[in-house]
Structure 1
Amino acid sequence: MIPTASQEAERDFRERGLTGREADAARSALSGMTAAAAAREMGVSSSTVGNFRQRAYRKLGVTSARELAAQYGRQREEGRAAGDSRAALLARGLSQTQSDVLSLVAEGLSTDEVAERLSVAPGTVSSARATGYRMLGVHSREELAALLEREAAAPRRRRAARLAAACLAAVMVVAAAVTVTSYLGSQPPAVVETEFGEVPNVVGMDPQSAWEVLVAEDYFPVIQESRSTESPGTVVDVDVQALPENMGISMPLDPSGTVHAELNETPWKAEAILSVSGLRKIPNITLNCSERDARKLLEDAGFSNVEVAYQGDVDPSDNRVILARPTSGSWASPNEPVELTVTSDVTVPDVLGMTPLDASSELVLAGFSPDPYITEWSYSTSDKGTPVAIATDPMCGETARVGDTVRIIFDRPLEE
């Protein structure tokens, strides 16, 4: 059961328009429940709990469970629980760093939150988590949390005061050994041998955790939708293959749509194709998309639940989408709403220093009518070079209505 929050928090949940599921997700975060524990109470996956929490955070004006707790004065009783988790992990042979990282991961903290808490690099967190998962024989945050919960709930056993008989003791030892061997043999392998080396077995994980584990081992993850009937948001298969020839990987996106420029120089070993059940990719709907175009793109991609927030005096026939959540390029369940922010007042982009063709194209993409409107250009090789934009009217950075004409002033005549 998810505990209710304080009166102040419950009042804000209602006044700020949290749905029932979003409010439950926020209550679970305030009470210190892990995403896995909250998922069991709510009857959804832990990744869905994470999505509900993020939507609740946005409506409440916070960015994390820590800020939520600080805002409503309810702190999680994490000290003793975290200490118990670390002790259990250390007892299983994990290093201090691995134990610290996994104890926080089990609480539901993201990679960045763990890195901030421990004052280490995000890459250190990912590496420690991947190694710890292998040592424990678990494959996801949910399995880790379940293991630690079992450890905490297990009663302390006293050593036997006496042996009933030597033969009985021998039988018990043999039986226990057979049981353990059978159990371990039934577990999926922590790694899979391939022609590219050992690849972490991420089947059964949520896509974000699987992505981070593979990246830590220098395998480039690529996600594709699976029609499997497994629980939505679960990796059901991994196909490892050579990277396409001449493939330039820059600014890779993780499943949440976050850009990771720090991975641009990674010496990738191979490409890991992750088949994920029940998720689809959010299309690119923030580049020169009107509300109508965005709705059509989302519908074609399988997302029919669209919520729109209008900013300013919006013209229904001429507007632009300036924000989408989940973000373009991220993976989400088709059953979850996609939130669009739509406006008819947009900012004139900075086109100073651009060539005639580039400046015109940039203004068109922003929703304006450039003057002059250049659709093709032969770049000059003369001593004077190609003209470049030196000013606009309205000025770059000013706000104007979608469809307005923006005059471009160049440093020399376009025809000489």
Structure 2
Amino acid sequence: MLKTFPKGGIHPAENKITSSKEIKRMPIPKVVYVPIAQHIGIPSEIIVDRKDKVEIGQVVAKSSGFVSSNIHSPVAGTVTKLDMIVDTSGYKKQCIVIRTDQKNESNFEEPNFPLKKEISMDQKDILKHITDSGIVGLGGATFPSHVKLDLKNDNHVDCLIINGVECEPYLTADHRLMLEKADEIIVGIQILMHALHIQEAVIGIENNKKDAIKALKKAAQSDKRIKVAALQVKYPQGSEKQLIKAIIKREVPKGGLPMDVGIIVHNVGTIFAIYQAVQYDRPLIERVVTVTGKKIENASNFWVKIGTPIKDLVNEVGGIPEGTRKIVNGGPMMGKAIKNTDVPVTKGTSGILVISEDEASRGEPKNCIRCGECVDVCPMGLEPHLLMNLTEKGIYETAANEDIMTCIECGSCSYVCPSHRPLLDYIRFGKSIVKKLNTAKN
């Protein structure tokens, strides 16, 4: 029987349109827009100025705290300005604008790196390379990876879990990466096991990716410490807490972290970035992005330089189809609509989803009928209808007591609500207010 988490969950239409599309390389943009806040934590500190010449991989914004991350130039070119631009959050953020130096275009091609299996670095050097390379969680959370790996004496970790679930509908970036870079991913896992001094790693992959399961089992066959776990197809299986529960039956405590139960979780994209950083000294300057939608002409997966305008990706797949209602950064469940396609790809951009008018239309919200469906599907055991009502009425202290901050914003409640109530929208807003209140108290 396939493993899964025990509480809640749904199975939306998968729509993995691009699962058979090999990863292609996006053309180098003429201009890149590189935000300095591409991670959870403190924004990076800009260390270049207007008219500066920069090289590929050069640090242009330096980590300004422990929970922060370096930002590197994805191209060789000239800094034209330091500006405030709207990013994928919808808010203006500080950004480094770099005009590509076309005479160096040949340098932008991905080198054909041979597989490098030998791990020559010790724990300290591995952690330094990961820190210096600006690697963050590429599954969407963008948590600086070096923070997870900087273990204190009282944190005993005995298992590494690799998240290859990609349960969000439409997205296939991780799926393709596992198929095309399986050997490198296994070496990346071995690098972390060496750095963490642990002897067990499990790669969790949903059973709708049988080819990826087969590829990684084959790549890992010579290392008995690394297992591949086939998981039942159920959303939101890719959430850390649900994945840990599904694979090894440990429960992360409320308000806790995976390392509290001896686990570290990394996304497969993050693992590949770690492989490149440690084995080839390559910083995080590009990532795989799925560009998709039911009416997109040439939906595909791309290697994309960080800072590339999203309009370049949309143009590459045939442009915006007539009747488009929304363009979403991410998948349909947890992604957020963007205002326009001028915003840049960031480290956290896993997909661009183009949604038509008929797909995006919401039913008219009606009164709650107390059916309890939102409660049944909540993977965190919350009462979404109650949390929405409390937020709507401004009763934030009670919402906090009802564990609103435990919500992982998976959107399962909104998906099943027969009254079309915007549960997730209100809960997200309620969480933002409760967070501000908690900060003020402290």
* Alignment TM-score > 0.5, same fold: no
> Which TM-score bucket, shorter chain as reference?
under 0.3
TM-score (norm 2): 0.22
TM-score (norm 1): 0.22
Report which of the two has the higher share of helix. 1
Q: Which has the higher contact order (CA 8 A, sep 6+)?
A: 2
Greater Rg by CA: 1
